[in-house]
Amino acid sequence: MTQALSIKQADSLARSAVDRGRLEREEALSLISSLEEPGILEAMAEAAFESKTRTKGEIVTVSRNVFLPLTNLCRNRCTYCGFAKKPDSPEAHTYTLDEVAEVVKGGVKTGCTEALMCLGDKPEIAYKGYREGLVESGYSSTTDLIVQACEVSLAGGMLPHTNAGIMQAEEMERLRPLNASMGLMMETTSQRLRGKGMPHFHAPDKDPAVRIRMHEEAGELKIPFTTGILLGIGENNEERVDTLLKIRELNERYEHIQEVIVQPFHPKEDTPMHGVQTIRDDEVVAWVALARLLLGSEMNLQAPPNLAPEMLPRLARAGLNDWGGVSPVTVDFINPEAPWPALDGLRALTESTDQKLRDRGPVYPDWLLGRPEFFDSSMHESVLRLATDEGYARRPNHQSKEEAA
Ligand code: SF4
């Protein structure tokens, strides 16, 4: 068992990691296993904030988006999931292109630039009725639906970011010219959670090897990629650190990880894991700080502001530089019980921590302006059209509240 660090030791370790540019595995485990000692969390957060400030300065970003759950059917059965529905559920829904266009219209009116296409993994493998529905609509696969939804979104003035679960390289290659960025949460690299009775037992797409492979292929295709860690589904500290280290290693190989999300799991009613203990807010802050120390100063690090609302000022000073997508139009379909904060409130809160909130699109300014090789040329032009000279979001079609009414 790792011996708890004193505050002085923790402070010195965390600060030396900032200077070295990275924290190592055993160091991370020492810090996190000392968390119950008074002052350790603060020492970690201060060092992580220093690391963030060195590269990102006082800026924290947010992406004003719409969330389009193109289908909430999924071939996997993660025991914590409240998003996926069975085909016979009254809540099961697959979007028509007219519905996509309607949401996009609402997004443009309210100044959103990102259309987040987030959906279940390949439901056509599990459900015959869904498969037949695709064919009736003229699609041969869910990817066909995503392609057309991206085209509708682009035509309507919004930039797609697709997270459709596991995709093959050919599917990502097809979607790349239509997407400003794409993503897949790593969630965890724990093979243990695939075991019998564990959350991913009935979820073949949650096999760590499958998820790592998709990250590698996205890297080979030069796709600006979002990933992240899911906290509180049964993984232990070692598994969390190893997941973050795997993300770091992948980025060192391909340099394609645009952002890393630290996302706490909230138990959902009517799921087998409805009774699990929610991860403490303190722990969320600690893992944001640890992620910054492990991933280094340059990584874009995000924590969703609706999943630890009581801790936002502390989160804001724990090393994150992004609040992720916040929508004035759609709910968080993964966590519908957790409302988005008002953007004005988020701005005031960020400023109360001596930082500034800036709006970004689905591409971070440093990527948009500094890494053109990661974009198909026509997509690069589309993203630039919706960006200021500094690479932040610009809204040519944004109407005022009065105009939108
Ligand atoms: S893969 Fe995602 S959508 Fe499908 S059951 Fe698991 S958590 Fe839910």
Residue 257 per-residue DSSP state: E
Quick check: is 271 in a domain?
A: yes
pLDDT at 401: 47
Given the CA of residue 206, which atom of ligand 1 is nearest to it?
1
Residue 182 has pLDDT above 50, yes or no: yes
- The answer to whether residue 397 scores a pLDDT higher than 70 is no
Q: Compute the distance from residue 316 Cα to the ligand 1 centre, in Å.
A: 29
Average pLDDT, the chain: 94
What is the CATH number for 31?
Answer: 3.20.20.70
Which residue's alpha carbon is nearest to atom 6 within ligand 1? 78
CA of 78 to the centre of ligand 1 (A): 6
Look at residue 76 and tell me if it is in a domain.
no
Instruction: Output the pLDDT for position 380.
Output: 97
pLDDT at 232 over 80: yes
| Residue 99 in this model has a pLDDT that exceeds 80 | yes
**Pocket flag, ligand 1, residue 157 (CB < 6 Å):** no
What whole-number distance in Å separates Cα of residue 266 and Cα of residue 80?
9
Structure tokens at 222: 């030069």
**CA-72 nearest atom, ligand 1:** 3
Ligand 1 pocket member 51 (CB < 6 A):
no
Q: Distance from the CA of 350 to the center of ligand 1, in angstroms?
A: 32
Is the shortest distance between the CB of 73 and ligand 1 below 6 Å?
A: no
pTM of the model: 0.95
Pocket test for ligand 1, best of 72, 78, 186 (most atoms within 8 A of CB): 78
Whether the CB of 83 sits within 6 Å of ligand 1: yes
Stretch 257-284: mean pLDDT: 93
Residue 312 Cα, ligand 1 centroid: separation in angstroms? 27
Q: Is residue 140 part of a domain?
A: no
Tally the domains of the chain: 1
Q: Per-residue pLDDT for 1 more than 80? A: no
Structure tokens, 206: 């949650």
Alpha-helical (H) ranges within 96-203 are 97-109, 123-126, 128-136, 142-156, 169-175
Task: Report pLDDT for 296.
Answer: 97
**What band does 404 get if pLDDT is binned at 50, 70 and 90?**
very low
Spatial CA neighbour of 320 closest among 278, 340, 349 = 349
Q: Pick from 121, 186, 230 the residue to mutate for probing ligand 1's pocket: most ligand atoms within 8 Å of its CB.
A: 121
Is the CB of residue 159 below 6 angstroms from any atom belonging to ligand 1?
no
Q: Where are the alpha helices (DSSP H) in 296-391?
A: 312-316, 343-351, 365-370, 377-385
pLDDT in tens, 282-324: 999 999 999 999 999 999 999 999 887 778 999 999 999 999 9
Query: Relative to the CA of 80, which ligand 1 atom is closest?
Result: 7
Report which ligand 1 atom has the smallest distance to the Cα of 200.
6
CA 173 from centre of chain = 21
Domain that residue 245 falls in: 7-64+183-404
The Cα–Cα gap between 111 and 395 comes to: 6
85: in domain: no
Whether residue 403 is predicted with pLDDT greater than 50 in this model: the reply is no
Residue closest by Cα to atom 2 of ligand 1: 120
Residue 387: predicted pLDDT: 96
CA-to-CA distance for 265 and 355, rounded, in angstroms? 27
Tell me the per-residue pLDDT of 7-63, one tens digit each, with 9 for 90 and over: 999 999 999 999 999 999 999 999 999 999 999 999 999 999 999 999 999 999 999
Q: What is the pLDDT of residues 319-363, one digit of tens each?
A: 999 999 988 888 888 888 888 888 899 999 999 999 999 999 999
Determine what percent of the chain is predicted with pLDDT higher than 90.
87
Is residue 402 scored above 50 in pLDDT? Answer: no
In a domain, 135, yes or no: no
Ligand 1 center to residue 80 CA distance, Å?
8
In a domain, 18, yes or no: yes
How many angstroms separate the CA atoms of 223 and 175, rounded?
Answer: 10
C-alpha 81 to ligand 1 mean position (Å): 6
66: β partners: 115
Q: Is 120's C-beta closer than 6 angstroms to any atom of ligand 1?
A: yes
The answer to the question of residue 263 being in a domain is: yes
Per DSSP, the residues of 308-327 read SGGGHHHHHTTT--EEEEE-
Instruction: Answer yes or no: is 195 within a domain.
Output: yes
Q: Is the shortest distance between the CB of 84 and ligand 1 below 6 Å?
A: yes
Span 167-181, average pLDDT = 98
165 touches ligand 1 (CB under 6 Å): yes
Ligand 1 contact, 198 CB (< 6 A): no
For the Cβ of 81 lying below 6 angstroms from any atom of ligand 1, the answer is yes
* Cβ-based neighbour number of residue 54 at 10 Å: 14
Q: Which helix (H) or strand (E) holds 240?
A: helix 237-254
Q: Decide whether any atom of ligand 1 lies within 6 Å of the 123 Cβ.
A: no
Q: Is the CB of 121 under 6 A from ligand 1?
A: yes
Token code pair at residue 245? 């280290």
Residues in the chain: 405
List pLDDT tens digits, range 71-89: 999 999 999 999 999 999 9
